[in-house]
Amino acid sequence: MIELQSDELNFAFPELLESLRTRIRAWVDERLESATNDEKNLLPSTREEIHRAFALCLPRISAAVSFQRTLRLPDTGRDYPMPLGLGRFSLYPVDDFQGVPAAWQQRGGVMLPLYPTEALWLGFYSDYPMALRIGAGGHCAVSGAPWVSGLNLSPQNYLVLGTQPWLDGFHAGPDIVRQFVAKPLGQGLLGVHALSPEERWGGLQLQAVPLRADEFWRQSLKASVSARWDELMTPIRHRVALPLADGGAPPDWTVKVGGKIRLRIMEDPYGLPAWDPTLSSRCFAHLCLATDWQRLTGIRPPQKPPTAADFTAAGLPWTDSTLGVLRTAGSTAQPFANAQILESLRQEESGYAEVAPRNVVRLNPELRQVVREF
- Looking at the domain assignment, is residue 23 inside a domain? yes
Residue 98 domain flag = yes
pLDDT for 328: 34
Same-domain pairing of 82 and 225: no
> Which structural domain range is residue 33 located in?
2-60+212-238
Q: What pLDDT does 332 receive? A: 39
- The reported pLDDT for the residue numbered 229 is 92
CB of 58 within 8 A of CB of 217? no
Considering the domain boundaries, does residue 244 fall inside one?
A: no
Residue 110 belongs to some domain of the structure: yes
Same structural domain for residues 15 and 75? no
Contact between 210 and 275 under an 8 Å Cβ cutoff? The reply is yes
**Three-state DSSP class for 91?**
coil
Does 13 share its domain with 150?
Answer: no
The pLDDT score that the predictor gives to residue 324 is: 42
Same domain? For 156 and 299 the reply is yes
Helix (H) or strand (E) holding 290: helix 290-297
36 and 117 in a common domain: no
pLDDT at position 254, please?
Answer: 38
Pairing of strands 189-190, 369-370: unpaired
Predicted pLDDT at 22: 96
* Domain shared by 310 and 283, yes or no: yes
Distance CA 204, CA 135 (A): 6
| Residue 101 counted as domain residue | yes
Number of domains in the chain: 2
Both 54 and 87 in a single domain? no
Question: Phi and psi of 325, rounded to 5°?
Answer: -95, 0
Question: Which residues, 6 or more positions from 351, have their beta carbon under 8 angstroms from its beta carbon?
Answer: none
Residue 287's nearest CA partner among 368, 355, 190 is 190
Is residue 269 located within the same domain as residue 217?
A: no
CA 334 to chain centre: 31
The pLDDT assigned to 288 comes to 84
User: Nearest 5°: phi and psi at 16?
Assistant: -75, -20
Closest CA to 111 of 286, 241, 237: 286
Pair 320, 276 in one domain: yes
Same domain flag for 168 and 204: yes
Residues 324 and 284 in one domain: yes
Mean pLDDT of each 10-residue bin along the chain, 374 residues long: 92 94 96 91 91 93 94 71 80 90 88 88 94 89 89 93 89 76 56 40 85 95 94 69 40 42 82 94 89 84 86 74 40 37 44 44 68 85
Q: In terms of domains, do 50 and 149 share one?
A: no
β-pair partners for 210: 130
Q: Report if residue 125 sits inside a domain.
A: yes
Q: Is residue 247 part of a domain?
A: no
User: What pLDDT is attached to residue 321?
Assistant: 40
The answer to whether residue 243 is domain-embedded is no
CA distance 354 to 339: 19
Nearest CA to 116 out of 312, 314, 346, 368 is that of: 346
Does the pTM exceed 0.85? no
